[in-house]
Amino acid sequence: MLSANHKDSKGKILLKADGLERKFGGLTAVANFSFELCDGEILGLIGPNGAGKSTTFNLISGFIPPTSGKLSFLGQDISGKNATYISRMGLVRTFQHDSLLSDMSVADNIIIATTHRLKSTAARQEKMRETAKQTGLEDYLDVTAGSLPHGLQRMLSIAIALAAEPKVLCLDEPLTGLQGVEVGAALDLFEMIRSELGITILLVEHNMRAVMRICDRILVLNHGRLLAAGTPEEVSQNELVIEAYLGHKK
């Protein structure tokens, strides 16, 4: 049987999905999907458009409930828990399309994300500055989010997620629309988030070169089902993957 578990990992399991399933009317968007996300890894989740990647993010982050299956985070059953509950536990996600408060400043967008963990204004300010610096936004604190260039809006989405001090960060196509140099900077940021901040990353991304470079392991979804799992090398040589995905998506 195809295994999406991390056999060689020394890290403990942070997130576990067991037979995860989600139907929308007659359409099964995610079917019998089981996987483990281990402490300290960067796990890629790839697949053609409509494969069920964003639905998987919506399920694990509590934005929609599963039709069936079980989800546990930090050893606790979170199946059916809502998004606020799950993000407060430390699983925070970004969206495929940025969801910023576009009329508010960069600083205020970030500060809002600090408020449930940090109670004093000084601590919130300090966290906001630290997060803005990490994401290259320190010179844009007073700029309204909606007037930032696209690449910086993407960074702001990540800053907002980081400001909540997550244990697991789920990034949904964070590189879409970024220019070459911005892609490199974003990948460096993801490496830093994992190695220096100790945050585990689940990455959905269409940029194959980036996925292959940065991920320790990759899960491949097709029509809502797990098609393959393994290291970037294993997955990129898998015939089923080449046929289903890499063959028509460069």
Q: Which does 50 bind (CB under 5 to 8 A by kind): Mg ion, ligand ADP, none?
A: ligand ADP
Select the residue interacting with Mg ion from 48, 54, 134, 230 (CB under 5 A).
Answer: 54
Q: Given the complex with ligand ADP, which of 49 and 121 has the nearer CB atom?
A: 49
Smallest separation (angstroms) from ligand ADP to the CB of 64? 7
Residue numbers 35-64 binding ligand ADP by CB under 6 A: 47, 49-55
Q: Are strands 168-172 and 200-204 parallel, antiparallel or unpaired?
A: parallel
Smallest separation (angstroms) from ligand ADP to the CB of 86? 18
Size of the site for Mg ion (CB under 5 A): 3
Q: Which does 120 bind (CB under 5 to 8 A by kind): Mg ion, ligand ADP, none?
A: none
Q: Given the complex with ligand ADP, which of 110 and 228 has the nearer CB atom?
A: 228
Residue position matching structure tokens 């407060």:
88
Structure tokens at 224: 């809502």
Q: Given the complex with Mg ion, which of 53 and 154 has the nearer CB atom?
A: 53
CA 197/CA 243 separation, integer angstroms: 37
Q: Given the complex with ligand ADP, which of 197 and 240 has the nearer CB atom?
A: 240
Q: Which does 90 bind (CB under 5 to 8 A by kind): ligand ADP, Mg ion, none?
A: none
Site string for Mg ion, 81-110 (x = CB under 5 A): ---------------x--------------
Short-list 55, 206, 240, 29, CA closest to 230: 240
Beta bridge partners of 16: 36, 72
Structure tokens at 189: 């940021």
Cβ–Cβ < 8 Å for 125, 113? no
Residue 26, SS3? coil
Give me the half-sphere count of Cα atoms (radius 13 Å) on the Cβ side of residue 50. Answer: 5
Residue 24 lies near ligand ADP (rule: CB under 6 A): yes
Q: Given the complex with ligand ADP, which of 17 and 128 has the nearer CB atom?
A: 17
Return the number of other C-beta atoms located less than 10 Å from residue 183's C-beta: 16
Smallest separation (angstroms) from ligand ADP to the CB of 39? 25
Cβ–Cβ < 8 Å for 100, 145? yes
Site string for Mg ion, 30-49 (x = CB under 5 A): --------------------
Positions touching Mg ion (CB under 5 A) are 53-54, 96
Positions touching ligand ADP (CB under 6 A) are 24, 27, 29, 47, 49-55
